[in-house]
Amino acid sequence: MPHLRPGPRGIVPKLVPMESPAVEIVDLVKRYGGATALDGLALRAERGAVTAVLGPNGAGKTTTVEICEGFRTADSGTVKVLGLAPQRPELRPRVGVMLQAGGVPPAMRCGEWLRLVARFYARPLDAQALLVRLGLADHARTPYRRLSGGQQQRLSLAAAVIGRPELVFLDEPTAGLDPQARHACWELVGELRGAGVAVVLTTHHMDEAERLADHVVIIDRGRVVAEGTPASLTGAERQLRFRARPGLALEELLNALPAGSAAKESPAGHYIIEGLVGPELLATVTAWCAAEGVTADDLRIERRTLEDVFLELTGRELR
């Protein structure tokens, strides 16, 4: 049964069978010369939801997104965007794109660019209102090359949404933004989601994914290493953390703790106790500290963050 989402002013979008997701990728492979960028990647992004693609530099985030945008072709595998092959021209008005950088002639004025892009669409948003919304109204007459990095990012974001697409791809939308601009961007993504737009964004900011995404896909070396809601990825498990002098002998503590608990020092002087974190575990740990003659600093109980999950999955070494 096709599902119709009535638009404003009686605009009814074309019949859209809801069973085709915003993006569906199966077994995607892409090689550049001898290097394998994508190695059997699978991904599904639902309509009306925010999907965050997380991964270290070089993991294959941009390659994945650019294949979906139709800029690159896959070596093998299937990619469907709104149920269609990514190169299909009828996708262009339906999909908004924010490149990681550039895309605007340096001498073009900020407002001029947005109005130009608006004229490619049948029912665009009001360019001036969008400029105001993204804090660019005072720079409408500024050439692109004189905008700050954050202003350039916001202009690219505006151009991605001005055509009122069903799906937007945002490649690192908040890279280089100051905290105010980041929050403005997050708010906009939230509004898009509220209006029924599917958003696929790449990021390596964990807080961004945790905060915005309905679905998080962590990729590394061209494969998906974990996915789920932020809550399911971080798990219900809690940890007890504290700081003390480095090199405490943890064996005795482990003996005293209930079975299934784990204790580690990482990095030096930072202790993490995992297991059934409750009053008993807390009492055991503080008793042990007293016996060792150490004061536990910054003692706190918390959930794993997405950053913990990310570093566990993708390692700590720099790339």
Partner 1 sequence: MTALDFTPAPGAAPFPRMVLAQAGAEIRAMLRNGEQLLLTLIIPVLLLVGFSLAPLIDVGGGRRIDFLAPGVLALAVMSTAFTGQAIATGFERRYGVLKRLGATPLSRAGLMLAKTAAVVAVEGIQVVLIVAAALALGWRPQGSFLGAGLLIVLGTAAFSGLGLLMAGTLRAEATLAAANLVYLVLLGAGGVIFPLSKFPAGMRPVLELLPISALTGGLRSVLAQGAALPLGPLAVLAAWAVLSLALVSRTFRWE
Which residues of the chain form contacts with partner 1 (CB under 8 A)?
5, 7-8, 11, 13, 69-71, 89, 92-95, 97, 99, 101-108, 112, 116-117, 119-123, 125-126, 129-130, 132-133, 159, 161, 163-166, 191-192, 194-197
Q: Is 290 helix (H, G, I), strand (E, B) or coil?
A: helix
Backbone angles phi, psi at 223, to 5 degrees: -130, 155
Q: Which is nearer to partner 1, 52 or 117 (CB)?
A: 117
- Starting at the edge strand found earlier in the chain, the sheet holding 297-303 runs 262-265, 270-274, 238-243, 297-303
Q: Is 28 helix (H, G, I), strand (E, B) or coil?
A: strand
Strand 198-203 to 50-54 pairing = parallel
Contact 260, 302 (CB under 8 A): no
Q: How far is the CB of 178 from partner 1 (least distance, A)?
A: 18
- The whole-angstrom separation of Cα 192 and Cα 156 is 15
For residue 198, give the nearest of 166, 162, 235 by alpha carbon: 166
Q: How far is the CB of 123 from partner 1 (least distance, A)?
A: 4
- The whole-angstrom separation of Cα 205 and Cα 211 is 10
Q: Which is nearer to partner 1, 189 or 253 (CB)?
A: 189
For CA atoms 210, 212, 214, 215, the dihedral sign is negative
Q: How far is the CB of 132 from partner 1 (least distance, A)?
A: 5
Q: How far is CA 304 from the centre of its chain?
A: 18
For residue 82, give the nearest of 165, 202, 204, 6 by alpha carbon: 165
Q: Which is nearer to partner 1, 194 or 260 (CB)?
A: 194
Q: How far is the CB of 129 from partner 1 (least distance, A)?
A: 5
What is the rounded radius of gyration, in angstroms, for the C-alpha atoms of the chain? 24
Q: How far is the CB of 152 from partner 1 (least distance, A)?
A: 11
Q: How far is the CB of 28 from partner 1 (least distance, A)?
A: 20
Q: Which is nearer to partner 1, 127 or 309 (CB)?
A: 127
Q: Which is nearer to partner 1, 144 or 288 (CB)?
A: 144
Q: How far is the CB of 110 from partner 1 (least distance, A)?
A: 13
Q: Which is nearer to partner 1, 141 or 300 (CB)?
A: 141
Q: Which is nearer to partner 1, 119 or 316 (CB)?
A: 119
Q: How far is the CB of 214 from partner 1 (least distance, A)?
A: 17
Cross-strand partners of 297: 243
Q: Which residue has the tokens 């100051």?
A: 178
Q: Which is nearer to partner 1, 92 or 303 (CB)?
A: 92
Task: Report the 10 Å Cβ neighbour count for 206.
Answer: 20
